[in-house]
């Protein structure tokens, strides 16, 4: 039916997260119909990003410049450093403009199961940033998973001795979370971390 090229395009799109074969086909049809308003802008945007794509040599963020826009922004608070597992975590935290400081992307989490060791993560470069000085607080923003927390503890130990405050994200009930829909682990954590009513 569709030509080899169109089939290849449909397959490339269908491998994106959130798109299946069906929606990829609809997307391709949309592109073919709206050549000037959809196809050309998408193609130009992809080519433009691809051309400039770079991994930030300071923090590990992916951006179209190195250093990335965050590391290059003088309005950012250079004294606060937020450590995350993945670039997607950095984006999630930065999207809501929740954190005014800078970031450090580990590129994963320690995992015995997957054979991911400390030297596979950007931990040495994190220590070098801290050792260089000028940082007051390191926020360990790992996922609330066993591996994420193992990673956070490992890093906290490596940081001991440097004159920085080490904090981590609070764990507990998600906003809007109803008790009887939450898993036991979250409930236990919320109970352990209970605070006096103000």
Restricting to residues 102-121, which ones interact with its own copies according to CB under 8 A? none
Out of 36, 45, 118, 138, point to the residue binding its own copies (CB under 8 A): 45
Tokens 């060791």 found at:
117
CA distance 69 to 66: 8
Nearest distance, CB of residue 123 and Zn ion, angstroms: 17
Furthest-apart CA atoms within the chain: distance in Å: 67
Tell whether residue 58 is a contact of Zn ion (CB under 5 A). Answer: yes
> Pick from Zn ion, its own copies, none: which does 56 bind, CB < 5 to 8 A by kind?
Zn ion
> Among 54, 53, 30, which Cα is nearest to 42's?
30
Q: Residues 132-171: x/- map of binding to its own copies (CB under 8 A)?
A: ----------------------------------------
Q: Among the candidate windows 84-92, 145-153, 160-168, 174-182, which touches its own copies by CB under 8 A?
A: 84-92
Tell whether residue 105 is a contact of Zn ion (CB under 5 A). Answer: no
Tell whether residue 35 is a contact of its own copies (CB under 8 A). Answer: yes
């Amino acid at each position: 039916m569709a030509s080899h090229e169109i089939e290849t395009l449909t397959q490339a799109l269908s491998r994106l997260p959130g798109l299946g074969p069906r929606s990829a086909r609809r997307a391709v049809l949309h592109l073919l119909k709206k050549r000037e308003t959809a196809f050309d802008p998408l193609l130009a945007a992809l080519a433009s990003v691809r051309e400039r794509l770079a991994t930030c040599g300071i923090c590990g963020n992916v951006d179209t410049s190195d250093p990335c826009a965050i590391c290059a922004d003088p309005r950012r608070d250079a004294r606060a450093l937020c450590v995350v597992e993945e670039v997607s975590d950095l984006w999630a935290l930065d999207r809501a403009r929740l954190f005014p400081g800078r970031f450090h992307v580990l590129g994963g989490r320690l995992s015995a199961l997957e054979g991911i060791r400390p030297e596979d993560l950007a931990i040495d470069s994190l220590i070098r940033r801290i050792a260089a000085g000028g940082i007051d607080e390191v926020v360990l923003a790992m996922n609330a998973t066993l591996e994420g927390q193992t990673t956070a503890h490992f890093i906290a130990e490596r940081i001991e001795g440097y004159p920085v405050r080490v904090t981590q994200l609070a764990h507990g009930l998600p906003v809007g979370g109803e008790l009887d829909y939450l898993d036991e682990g979250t409930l236990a954590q919320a109970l352990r971390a209970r605070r006096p009513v103000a």
